[in-house]
Amino acid sequence: MMKIAILGLGTVGGGVLKLLQKVNEARTDSKIDITHVLARDIKDETLDLTGIIVTDDVDEILNSDIQLIVEVLGGVDFPYAVQRKALERGIHVVTANKDMLALHLNELAQIANQHQAQIGYEASCGGGIPIIQPLQYSLNANKINKVMGILNGTTNYILTKMADEQCEYQEALAQAQALGYAEKDPTNDIEGDDAARKIAILSRLAFKVNIPLERVEVRGISQVDQQDIQLAQENGFTLKLLGKSRQVVDAISISVEPVLLPTTHSLANVKLEKNAIFIEGDAVGQTMFYGPGAGSSETASAVVSDILFIEKFGFTGNLTTQESGHFTKSITDHRYYIRLEEDMSLLKERLTAMNIKYQLWQNDEITAVLTATISEPTFKALTQELTLAAYYQIEGE
Amino acid sequence: MMKIAILGLGTVGGGVLKLLQKVNEARTDSKIDITHVLARDIKDETLDLTGIIVTDDVDEILNSDIQLIVEVLGGVDFPYAVQRKALERGIHVVTANKDMLALHLNELAQIANQHQAQIGYEASCGGGIPIIQPLQYSLNANKINKVMGILNGTTNYILTKMADEQCEYQEALAQAQALGYAEKDPTNDIEGDDAARKIAILSRLAFKVNIPLERVEVRGISQVDQQDIQLAQENGFTLKLLGKSRQVVDAISISVEPVLLPTTHSLANVKLEKNAIFIEGDAVGQTMFYGPGAGSSETASAVVSDILFIEKFGFTGNLTTQESGHFTKSITDHRYYIRLEEDMSLLKERLTAMNIKYQLWQNDEITAVLTATISEPTFKALTQELTLAAYYQIEGE
């Protein structure tokens, strides 16, 4: 009977408690013993805390004979300190805390390995979608070349509304807030920071190298214009905010940015608040994992799968990584969608001068250019001193 | 150093050999030792068999100190006998052999458990797509309600061509044959038998009950008419051959049949030879796993992941199952697409008499009816004594 504590009883913590109790109910053999919960005040009256010690003193929990803590507190510094302390005592940790992991996972993994403690973080990326375990155990015969994901439900909801219902950005954001998909201060989601943490965590696991968070180039969706979405759609492309990374030899390109995908691409059809992660491996080719990126019972599904895995297998070893070669966007060539504030003639002249083929896309509202495949440095040279109204890489071709 | 043998050096076996050698090359620590290969004549000259005993005597392999066999022979009786013998000696088995597993997995799992041997069968369903391991380890906090999959690349290729390029069935089949996606005698794929085996294996694992293969109701695509595909598309639906199963309390509905999905459904956008499996769990909600359903290195990706899992964890226990309550299609209600050979007036009269609402779909070529949601027995009663030209359940709403 494994003794565990749940640290944090918010949306995810409450979901974990309920799901564990359900799993226990269905079991005829040994149950999972939830001995402690770390919480100040418990707002959710549907939670059954019978036989569970509720405390706001984390040391009371870490000093007990607890074997595993579920850290679903949110924040960075306190969770980091708590996880570190737990791992140093050989206590397993299961967490959904992407903000903290994106900064400290490698260090924590080293500490954990020294003390034969396991870190489970299936819930940190893609909510309920199985992705960490499949990368670790199902695609492990592959060298992973590419990871691309719709990793943030808020922005995907907004972009879906803008595309399918011709909403303006502000209106779509307000809808997302009304439905609880976006927070009052949506900066973290909208500006791509949330997705950046997730693509950093996934890419570290996929490529087995350090991914310092500051190396992820981030561009959010607050500048996205309805008109570009419509023009792209008319030409068979869908705008999505992707976390994406690619490894070529020892160079890594990693970013979060809005890109255009062919409407037939599997990621293009991931709608509203749903998430999906696309993985390309040298043996398996292209795979995709789709599902709920957030939610109480959905995220709990991932958290509890980690708990059950650790219950069955105990310490199985945590991946630790080293520095990679270098980070550069210039390893990936793309077609580019470009629209200028000013008249397009200067851009056209340059394209011709640089011998870059292009298509013109236009409708009643706007005109844009779709270039042939060029490198990132070429794109930079091409658009130097021009005022760009919008530019997007074409992905997934 | 785990000693393994590969039984069969066809497309998949050759892929497994190559991928294992690649995995070994990348390793600095203990390698996987491929000691034997079972093969009569080796056609593929790109295979490196240095240091490997090639034999056509399976007992020579089973009598050696082998620890794991990879069975990728094809067929049923001989592979069954070999796997049984291996498991009785405590030798682990990794296999892609769905035809055999759909008949014998439960019995083999019991034998394996008695002898602490593990059976890995990730490659048996959905080729390279991680689905068996995610069901076992990532979605295991869920009660699975529903499994739906595009589990056969041949038929999906044909239906995609018929939908997107307005090919007739025979023409699309010929194309699939020319590209090697369909065999000369395509019966097994076309008539749904291949998909039936896969949905039986997946549903057994998902619902944890026996699924006798003969309880899977099977209808293939050889009768599918181009005209119905077009009419459905005009109304926002895509025709797909799905293996699908559902559990409600102790009753199971399981079938392989062409169904209509909303074009926005994630499975509707799985094109050509690709496969995808949609899983619905009570905690996670809807998830989907997408990727290659066949291919040499693709399937090898799944086989080798099983080998690596067994290398790391050894015997972890095989699921054994009991009889379920009962099999019935009447637990699932659907809307139905119905087209008659004769004039539609009799059907319309009956619909009105039975108080079933319906829409009329028509174009220049044909007229069909889309009913409101009705039960399977109601559908049977409704269409009794009528000559149906086409009927399809609407799924995924």
Please indicate whether, in this complex, the C-beta atoms of B130 and A122 are within 8 angstroms of each other.
Answer: no
pLDDT of residue B331: 83
Phi first, then psi, for residue B302 (nearest 5°) are -75, -45
Compute the distance between CA of residue A240 and CA of residue A262 in angstroms, rounded to an integer: 10
Report pLDDT for A128. Answer: 98
Residues B233 and B165 in one domain: yes
What are the tens digits of pLDDT across the range A345-376?
999 999 999 999 999 999 999 999 999 999 99
Query: In the structure encoding, which two tokens stand for residue B247, read together?
Result: 């559990």
Let me know whether B102 and B151 are in one domain.
no
In a domain? residue B42: yes
Q: Residue B19 is nearest to which of A129, A141, A300, comparing CB atoms?
A: A141
* Rounded CA separation B16/B3 (Å): 15
Matching residue, tokens 């799924």: B395
Strands A68-71, A3-7: parallel, antiparallel or unpaired by DSSP?
parallel
> Taking CB atoms and an 8 Å cutoff, what residues of chain B touch A139?
130, 301, 305
One domain for residues B171 and B110: no
Percent of chain A with pLDDT over 90: 92
State the pLDDT at residue B142. Answer: 98
Answer whether A288's CB lies under 8 Å from A278's CB. Answer: yes
Q: What's the DSSP call for residue A363?
A: -
Query: Which residue is catalytic, options B198, B240, B274, B329?
Result: B198
Question: Do residue B167 and residue B287 come from a single domain?
Answer: yes
Give the phi and the psi of residue A37 in degrees, each rounded to 5: -130, 135
Average pLDDT over residues B131-149: 98
- Catalytic hit among A161, A198, A244, A274: A198
- A198 carries an active-site annotation: yes
Check if the beta carbon of residue A200 is closer than 8 Å to that of residue A216.
Answer: yes
Is B348 in a helix, a strand, or coil? Answer: helix
Give the separation between CA A46 and CA A18, rounded to whole angstroms. 9
Collect all residues with Cβ–Cβ distance below 8 Å to A152 and sequence separation of at least 6. A189, A192, A194, A195, A198, A241, A275, A293
Name the domain boundary from B260, B291, B322. B291
Which residues have a Cβ under 8 Å from the Cβ of A111 and sit 6 or more positions away? Answer: A84, A87, A88, A117
Q: Please report which confidence band the pLDDT of residue B322 belongs to, taking 50, 70 and 90 as the band edges.
A: very high
CB-CB neighbors (< 8 A) of A305 in chain B: 137-141
Residues B140 and B82 in one domain: no
CA–CA separation, A140 vs A137, rounded Å? 6
Mean pLDDT calculated for residue range B335-347: 93
Binding residues of B: 7-14, 98, 183
Total tally of structural domains belonging to chain A: 3
d(CA B190, CA B169): 11
Can you give the three-state secondary structure of B258-309, one letter per residue?
A: EEEEECCCHHHHCCCCEEEEEEEECCCEEEEEEEECCCHHHHHHHHHHHHHH
**Is B302 within 8 Å of A142 when comparing Cβ atoms?**
no
Set of chain B residues whose Cβ sits within 8 Å of the Cβ of A302: 138, 284
Q: Which amino acid is at A245?
A: S
Residues whose CB is less than 8 angstroms from the CB of residue A289 and which lie 6 or more positions away in sequence, other chains included: A126, A129, A130, A131, A134, A276, A277, A279, B287, B288, B289, B290
C-alpha–C-alpha distance, residues A197 and A104, integer Å: 11
What confidence score (pLDDT) does residue B44 get?
A: 87
Burial of B306 (0-12, 13-18, 19+ CB in 10 A): buried
Element at B61 (helix H, strand E): helix B58-62
Residues 6+ positions from A189 with CB-CB distance below 8 Å: A152, A154, A155, A182, A183, A195
Q: Does the annotation list A72 as a binding residue? A: no
Please tell me whether residues B139 and B287 are part of one structural domain: yes
Average pLDDT of span B2-8: 98
**pLDDT, chain A, mean:** 96
Helix (H) or strand (E) holding A369, with range, is strand A367-371
pLDDT given at position B323 = 87
pTM of the model: 0.97
d(Cα B98, Cα B112) in Å, to the nearest integer? 17
CA distance A6 to A24: 15
- Looking at residue A137, the DSSP 8-state letter turns out to be I
pLDDT in tens, A9-41: 999 999 999 999 999 999 998 999 999 999 998
In this structure, are A149 and A264 located in the same domain? yes
Q: How confident is the model at residue B296 (pLDDT cuts 50, 70, 90)?
A: very high
Domain of A271, CATH number, reads: 3.30.360.10
Q: Across all residues in chain B, what is the average pLDDT?
A: 96
Contact call for residues A61 and A7 (beta carbons, < 8 A)? yes
Q: What is the CA radius of gyration of chain A?
A: 23
User: Residue B76 domain-assigned?
Assistant: yes
pLDDT at A381: 94
CA A328 to CA A307: how far, in whole Å?
A: 37
Residues B242 and B259: their CA atoms lie apart, in Å, by 7
Q: Is residue B250 very low, low, confident or very high in pLDDT (cuts 50, 70, 90)?
A: confident
A159 is in an annotated binding site: no
Percentage helix, strand, coil for chain A under 3-state DSSP, each rounded to 5: 40, 25, 35
Rounded to a whole number of angstroms, the distance between the first and last alpha carbons of chain A is 50
Q: Are B255 and B119 in the same domain?
A: no
- Residue A378 sits in a domain whose CATH number is 3.30.70.260
Classify residue A173: in a domain, yes or no: yes
Co-location of A74 and A206 in the same domain:
no
Identify the H or E element spanning B35. Answer: strand B33-38
Q: What SS3 class is residue A93?
A: strand
Mutation test of the interface with chain B: which of A70, A124, A284, A311, choosing the one with the most B Cβ atoms within 10 A?
A284
Complex confidence, ipTM:
0.97
* CA A85 and chain centroid, separation: 26
Contact present, A334 and B167 (Cβ < 8 Å): no
* Res A331: pLDDT: 84
Q: How far apart are CA B194 and CA B197, in angstroms?
A: 5
pLDDT at position A250: 86
The predicted structure's pLDDT at residue B325 = 78
In the block, which residue shows the tokens 């001989």?
B78
The DSSP H or E segment spanning B157 is: helix B153-164
pLDDT the model gives residue A43? 82
| The two three-digit tokens of residue B31, written as one number | 């390698």
Asked whether the predicted pLDDT for residue B207 surpasses 80, the reply is yes
Collapsing DSSP states into helix, strand and coil, what is residue B13? helix
Q: Copy the structure tokens of residue B1.
A: 């150093």
Determine the Cα–Cα distance for residues A271 and B326; give it in Å rounded to an integer.
36
A324 in a domain, yes or no?
A: no
**CB within 8 Å: A264 and B271:** yes
Question: Residue holding tokens 């808020």?
Answer: A154
- Closest residue in A to B20 (Cα) is A141
Of B2-6, B22-26, B318-322, B329-333, the one with minimum mean pLDDT is B329-333
**pLDDT computed for residue B223 by the predictor:** 95
Provide the pairing of β-strand B367-371 with A274-281. unpaired
Percent of chain B surpassing pLDDT 70: 100
**Is A322 within the bounds of a domain?**
no
Torsion of CA B182, B187, B192, B198, to 10 degrees: -70
As a whole number of angstroms, the distance between CA A273 and CA A291 comes to: 9
What's the alpha-carbon Rg for chain B, to the nearest Å? 23
CB contact at 8 A, B125 and B98? yes
Note the pLDDT of residue A215: 95
* A289 or B74, which is more confident: A289
- Spell out which residues of chain A touch residue B19, defining contact as CB-CB under 8 Å: 141, 283
Indicate whether A139 and A267 sit together in one domain.
Answer: yes
Q: Are residues A239 and A195 in the same domain?
A: yes
CATH number, domain at A112?
Answer: 3.40.50.720
pLDDT above 90 as % of chain B: 92
Cβ A181 vs Cβ A157: under 8 Å: yes
Q: B318 lies in a domain?
A: no
Task: Name the token pair of A330.
Answer: 């210039």
Query: Would you call A133 and B129 a contact, using CB atoms and an 8 Å cutoff?
Result: no
Handedness of CA B20, B26, B32, B34 (dihedral sign): positive
Examine residue A60 and state whether it is found in any structural domain, yes or no.
yes
With respect to residue A318, please indicate whether it lies within any of the assigned structural domains.
no
List phi, psi (to 5°) of A156: -70, -35
Transcribe B88-144 into DSSP letters: HTT-EEEE--HHHHHHHHHHHHHHHHHTT--EE-GGGSSTTS--HHIIIIISTTSPE
Among B115, B123, B65, smallest CA distance to B85 is for B115
Which of B221, B208, B219, B292 is CA-nearest to residue B252? B208
Those residues of chain A that have pLDDT short of 70 are none
| Best of B145, B263, B296, B301 to mutate (most A CBs within 10 Å, chain A) | B301
Residue A388 assigned as binding residue: no
Are residues B146 and B272 located together in one domain of the fold? Answer: yes
Closest partner residue to A140 (CB to CB) among B281, B289, B305 is B305
> Distance between CA atoms of A83 and A117, rounded to whole angstroms?
11
* Structural domain containing residue B91: 2-128+297-313
Residue finishing a domain among B259, B291, B323: B291
Chain-centroid distance, C-alpha A240: 14
pLDDT per residue over B220-231, tens digit each? 999 999 999 999
> Among partner residues A141, A270, A287, which is closest to B304 by beta-carbon distance?
A141
